[in-house]
Homo-oligomer: A and B are copies of this chain.
């Protein structure tokens, strides 16, 4: 079984790479902090008898040989990058939980039939390079490597440039990596398990999510001399749109979600009426048809706002990750293991995107959720208990052993 203390120790150790004053982590993909944690991961897994390699997207694979090395590996994993104001568990637990599984087998001297691999996927968060799950997306065939490599950060530096700078480009072509199953352990990032006092969420799928860039164009004008009726204020128009984006979720309550995370106004001078405002929109729903209806509702509301405010609006879709249903046999491995270990559980649909979304397109996949404090995530206050993360890793261990028998 899992050594919970060693797992917790790993969580504390890695939290130092990009650790913030408020106890969170700021470790954007492919920054120097990310390079530090990648190197920690490599050393730790090598010490547990693994070989560590990169593919062409900088995805990191730590491989523990099995007794039948001609079989495709069983993979575990998640990501080690974080949001700007990230917590200490989102993604990290899935990788370190995998390391804890390797350690348990290493200590007990157990050999599996299949080789086992722990994967650290590049740029899951989408906080530095949009969209999220970019490298697992290439792995799963959702994006081309050219598209992913050309994605720029806010300073215009591309993902490809940063992969090369860090020396993270491996010989293996991303996606040319056979595997027989993939298990991803993650904090729920939502309030359900905590509220119902369940230890394990058996994740049956992931809701659909769509992203858009909205550009509102008005007319810049002098703040001191332009009478109010003569203005075409792009920001005032955008304020109405922000409220209408919120109304889209309200109109599809309680499952519909809408979020505006980024906004900029130009020319950004205190005494100039903004001529242009740009903002992002994130719409989510577990049902694809409802999500489609939300999109139509959203587009209609943006047009109405633009007309009312006499400004121009354009909406560009930037990401569309359809609702996902995981592999029933992998889900059964998770559910049966949880049952045997005696943890309380429930089926759950993930609200967040995960590398498992795209990996599931090419490898039978399931996920394991554990509760996090108040459901708070993408926030430095993100927290989970040692008991829960150990329980989740135990389920991961047993699910992997079950899949190894099949």
Contacts and interface: CB of A to CB of B under 8 A. Distances in A.
A189 B378 contact: no
B224 A189 contact: yes
A223 B257 contact: yes
A20 to B, nearest CB: 11
A126 B270 CA distance: 8
The residue among A188, A224, A264 with the most chain B CB atoms within 10 A of its own CB is: A224
Nearest to A28: B269
A386 interface: no
Given A221-B377, A257-B224, A280 B272 contact: no
How many copies the complex holds: the figure is 2
Nearest to A318: B270
Interface string A196-234: 000000000001010100000001111111111010010
A126 B253 CA distance: 45
Interface stretch (A42-50, A91-99, A243-251, A359-367): A243-251
A213 B356 CA distance: 43
Given A242-B235, A270-B126, A272-B85, A221 B379 contact: yes
19 contacts: A189-B222, A191-B230, A221-B376, A221-B378, A223-B257, A223-B261, A225-B377, A226-B376, A227-B257, A228-B246, A235-B242, A236-B260, A238-B242, A239-B239, A261-B268, A261-B269, A262-B265, A271-B282, A273-B378
Interface of A: 83-85, 125-127, 130, 132, 188-191, 207, 209, 211, 219-228, 230, 233, 235-236, 238-240, 242-243, 246, 249-250, 253-254, 256-275, 280, 282, 284, 350-353, 375-379
